[in-house]
Structure 1
């Protein structure tokens, strides 16, 4: 693992390691300690629902997780601190999640957590401590390019790659972070943990939303955004009514199962979530695909937008396959994305992340279709003609 900025001996380099009590962050800390870095383990206490009984602790910082992280830190001989980040996490991540569903989009809270909490709040905390770097257990790699900039690359384990949720980072952050496990496949990371006797070597990965204690986001929204979970009609493009939905946030674009409708001439899918009219629009597969999207709040990891007409690949969900696209950067941190073939599950609120092979170019938030079409009508066709 190479240093991304000034060359200092490891013993003279202080690294704050974001610890969660899991395998990845623990191995990240172990690798850095073995290389001689001066490490400090820090864990964040995040917001959790009140009144959830035994589940009222955020799963990322449960008592068990804190205990595991502290045991790892003790085994490695490094100091360990638990810091309270409940208020900014609630404001920047949980409220964002609730507000997104209330306004007709399907938000990705993990991207917002990286944008505002891990690589803003925690990174600045590390800087205030005088640390040279913040290290995390993310599966991604860093490389100093010939242009002198730090390139964010996919992790070697394609199944675990997390560059998608790191696409919000720019040069100011990438120069000050380390991803020690990004060069290893997950089985090797577990082997490293076991070989070093770390007490969490066999611990399961955490996959669900950390702040929802029972993993039921529909229940969470009923409790925290009841207005968004109002029942309403299920209709097709011609206005025929097929039934009643139980709240638009419970559905996703492209969904077929669980619609509770009958009498359709062929299999019907969710085509649109019409929030202004609280209507679930369904239709055949032929009505589902879109060959372009508009992304907002776009960040470019190299701090500069690529030229209009740049060929790239795009992922529209964390676990989606990257597909070929053409990028047309616009004003106001927006980018129009054109695909060679229609995609069936473009979902407003999710991240659209762009790649050139293994290099993560950046990403943005998929805009609602009515916003996208208005922008396309004004700007994109002209950009395509010029290109």
Structure 2
């Protein structure tokens, strides 16, 4: 597509991972991907080179993942991979080759608007709603967007495959890549066990009608509908739960998770409603309507707020309505953003399921992604 538009194109492949011991065989192995990329480049008659970024990837992405899981948080390495690797280290490498832009296969769009003679860049959802990947680019800056091209953003996946078939490209029918950015599908516990060792702990089931107030609270009346209360995780009398099993490490699990507990015998499936990595305890509740799974809001600390469009960022005391999602592919939800001195509060019209610390909340104005932040 870029060649048709008159660009001079160079193909570049990033190798970001060397350890095949934790990847699931035949799922996105880097060697096969590299060969496919080289064959496509030959077919298109464009130069091709590979670049090894595995040291930077380990430092900026893998070490971050281990650190976040150890703290009982749920990181999103794909978002970080785009911010730290693709649109930073890789972008700088491309610029050293005197490139004007880098182009990626993300299903999203970039537009420009004129603001009193200054060009502002918009990050918009891809036309294919089923494949929109703007969420993964939610941490990009104006500078990064100014150097980015997304040539398939106006197309659907079937249309892209059809173009590849017409061009007789080897990747035309290749399965969609899944799993970690540039690593592929991994067995997460085995991946994490490289640094986070297994450690037996209790699985506690908290009844749905449990007192939702923390046992440290002396007077229930002091709890009001303050922003901090509305956005706080589910709290309960932890002494009211019962042990229903054991796990191999609280840091291997995340809020909302159902699989992997291997505990049966309950009328409804057990879902994780809280992980305590300090005391190595997992708290669970029966069924997907357990109150511990739902929250009305979330909080983003001041240093973790990012505006793709800094010209419209909220100032202290300001509120604005946006459509928000808290994970990839989640339907957009109506919410109010409230800016305070200590950070940003997001209050949803409807309670949201499995809000996990460490994930990215992303807000849109119509089809434009305007900001994001790490959930506290």
Aligned to 1:106: 74
Aligned to 1:68: 36
Alignment match of 1:133 (pick from 83, 101, 121): 101
Hey, what's the Cα distance between the residues in 2 that align with 1:350 and 1:100?
Answer: 10
SS in 2 for 1:143: strand
| CA drift at 1:212 | 5.5
Q: Deviations over 1:23-72 (max 9, x none)?
A: xxxxxxxx0011111111111111221666996x9946x22211111111
Hey, what's the Cα distance between the residues in 2 that align with 1:316 and 1:53?
Answer: 27
Q: Which runs of 5+ in 1 are unaligned?
A: 1-30, 368-387
Alignment match of 1:116 (pick from 74, 84, 101): 84
Alignment of structure 1 residues 1-387 onto 2, 5 Å? 31-49=1-19, 59=28, 62-147=30-115, 148-210=119-181, 215-226=186-197, 229-235=198-204, 236=206, 237=238, 238-261=240-263, 268-284=270-286, 285-296=290-301, 297-304=304-311, 305-307=313-315, 308-331=318-341, 334-367=343-376
| CA drift at 1:113 | 0.5
Range that drifts further, 207-216 or 40-49? 207-216
Hey, what's the Cα distance between the residues in 1 that align with 2:242 and 2:24?
Answer: 46
| CA drift at 1:100 | 1.1
**Residues 59 and 210 of structure 1 are in contact (CA less than 8 Å); yes or no, is this contact kept in structure 2?**
no
SS in 2 for 1:187: helix
Hey, what's the Cα distance between the residues in 2 that align with 1:149 and 1:217?
Answer: 39
**Residues 298 and 375 of structure 2 are in contact (CA less than 8 Å); yes or no, is this contact kept in structure 1?**
yes
Q: Which runs of 5+ in 2 are unaligned?
A: 207-237
| CA drift at 1:262 | 6.0
SS in 2 for 1:124: helix
Hey, what's the Cα distance between the residues in 1 that align with 2:285 and 2:39?
Answer: 54
- Taking structure 2 as the reference length, the TM-score comes to 0.82
- Taking structure 1 as the reference length, the TM-score comes to 0.79
SS in 2 for 1:39: coil
Cα distance change, pair 331–138 in 1 and its aligned pair in 2 (3 A): farther
Hey, what's the Cα distance between the residues in 2 that align with 1:361 and 1:234?
Answer: 40
| CA drift at 1:74 | 1.3
Cα distance change, pair 41–243 in 1 and its aligned pair in 2 (3 A): same
Q: Deviations over 1:202-241 (max 9, x none)?
A: 1111111256576211111123321xx3221122332432
**Residues 233 and 244 of structure 1 are in contact (CA less than 8 Å); yes or no, is this contact kept in structure 2?**
yes
Q: Deviations over 1:335-355 (max 9, x none)?
A: 221111211210111111111
Hey, what's the Cα distance between the residues in 2 that align with 1:101 and 1:176?
Answer: 33
Let me know the Cα RMSD of the aligned residues: 2.4
Hey, what's the Cα distance between the residues in 1 that align with 2:28 and 2:199?
Answer: 29
Hey, what's the Cα distance between the residues in 1 that align with 2:55 and 2:337?
Answer: 37
Hey, what's the Cα distance between the residues in 2 that align with 1:156 and 1:213?
Answer: 25
Cα distance change, pair 212–192 in 1 and its aligned pair in 2 (3 A): closer
Query: Matched residue pairs, number?
Result: 332
